[in-house]
Amino acid sequence: MFVLETDRLFLRHYKEEDIPSLHCILSDSETMKYYPSPFSYEKTNNWVKNNQKRYKEDGYGLWAICLKENEELIGDCGLIKQVVDGKIEVEIGYHINKIYWSKGYATEAAKACKEYGFYKIGLDKLISIIDPRNIPSSRVAEKIGFTKEKQVFIFNKNHYIYSCLRNRK
């Protein structure tokens, strides 16, 4: 089931068969540099199951990013509820296979998720939680119109909160 479609990508719900491909991404030490550690196979499996649960409970979660040209899974992007400073916020999160970095895929997928969050779901605000050293992720957030709002201590370390409000017409 496609959730979103862009010029070059489609985003869809995770399937059980996605776990090996996703594990290649989430187990890579360079890709997961700003996480506590790369994911084990079990953690990747739980990642998929947790997002499948989010689809049912929240109506959204992280979705598999696939190339239209060959349907290859190249990462994930989507919307996740997070608690920041005691308040529930909805984050746009993204991970891209490093062989596809610097091709605009994260920006393309994140922009589609932003539009989905604002205009399909009707959210008034979206955030991204980004390690201050993760310049490429900060650039993606800025390219889709997010600005640095504040720094918070979350996930056992300091992170920047980038945010964007829905335009009112």
User: Does pLDDT of 74 surpass 60?
Assistant: yes
Q: What is the pLDDT of residues 76-108, one digit of tens each?
A: 999 999 999 999 999 999 999 999 999 999 999
Is residue 169 predicted with pLDDT exceeding 60? no
Q: What confidence score (pLDDT) does residue 3 get?
A: 86
pLDDT tens per residue across span 11-45? 999 999 999 999 999 999 999 999 989 999 999 99
**Using CA of residue 20, residue 28, residue 104, residue 155, what is the dihedral sign?**
positive
Strand 73-84 relative to strand 62-67, pairing: antiparallel
Write the pLDDT tens digit of every residue in 100-118: 999 999 999 999 999 999 9
Spans of all domains in the chain:
2-165
| Per-residue pLDDT at 168 | 54
Please tell us whether the domain made up of 2-165 is placed in CATH 3.40.30.110: no
Query: Per residue in 114-157, pLDDT tens?
Result: 999 999 999 999 999 999 999 999 999 999 999 999 999 999 99
Outline where the chain has alpha helix (H): 19-26, 41-57, 105-115, 135-143
Across-strand partners of 133?
none
Listed as own residue / partner, the contacts of 114-119 with beta carbons closer than 8 Å and 24 or more positions apart are: 114/144, 114/145, 114/164, 116/3, 116/4, 116/60, 116/79, 117/60, 117/79, 117/90, 117/92, 118/166, 118/167, 119/166
In this predicted structure, what is the pLDDT of residue 25? 97
